[in-house]
Amino acid sequence: MSTLINTHQNRSEFAHSLNQFADQAVRFSIVIVLAWIGAMKFTSYEAGAIEGLVASSPLTSWLYSVFSLQGASNLIGFVEVATAVALLLAPVHRGFAILGAASATLTFAVTTSFLFTAPIAEASLGGFPAISVVPGQFLLKDIVLLSAALSLLAKALLRDE
């Protein structure tokens, strides 16, 4: 009986440690993605690459009536890098955790919405549900990032401080 209890305790402790590690891995993964892709937004290469996605969405197309192509990309990049910094500072204060997770959730909700506004169907394969590598499959992964950001937001809101 004591072996069974010890095994249960060990499994429970391991699961708790694994859960803590997974939470940090998710947070750092999102930090890396947002910081890297956000920094790229400050290049003319990336500004041109996102133009079709941004212009095709009613949520973001207005940016081009207010900012230049590069200006809009810079603004998006600033938000992404600032979000990464807030997530990086999440252990320091609950406010950073909430701000970073909420901003990441909003960011990935917008990019996931591009699946419905950008031309993603691959005509050479008969159209939808066959989707192009870019932007279709590139955007599809944002569903997972959105879910991860939502998980971080829920944990940040539940966090005591």
Note the Cα 158 to chain centre separation in Å.
Answer: 20
Kindly report, residue by residue over 67-116, the tens digit of the pLDDT.
Answer: 999 999 999 999 999 999 999 999 999 999 999 999 999 999 999 999 99
DSSP output for the chain: -HHHHHHHHHHHHHHHHHHHHHHHHHHHHHHHHHHHHHHHTTSHHHHHHHHHHHHH-TTTTTHHHHS-HHHHHHHHHHHHHHHHHHHHTTTT-HHHHHHHHHHHHHHHHHHHHHHHHS--B-GGGTSTTSB-IIIIIHHHTHHHHHHHHHHHHHHHHH---
Q: Which two tokens stand for residue 42?
A: 């400050």
Helix or strand (DSSP H, E) at 112 = helix 94-117
pLDDT of residue 133: 84
Task: For residue 160, report the phi and psi dihedrals to the nearest 5 degrees.
Answer: -90, 145
What are the tokens at 38?
A: 């956000």
Q: By C-alpha distance, which of 76, 74, 85 is closest to 30?
A: 85
Residue ranges making up the domain that contains 14: 2-158
Alpha-carbon distance of 89 to 85, in angstroms, equals 6
Mean pLDDT of 8-24: 91
Residues 117-127 have pLDDT tens digits of 988 877 887 87
How many structural domains is the chain composed of? 1
What pLDDT is recorded for position 132? Answer: 83
Q: Give 127-156 pLDDT, tens digit per residue.
A: 778 888 888 888 999 999 999 999 999 999
* Residue 35, number of CB atoms within 10 A of its CB: 18
What value does the mean pLDDT take over residues 47-71?
Answer: 98
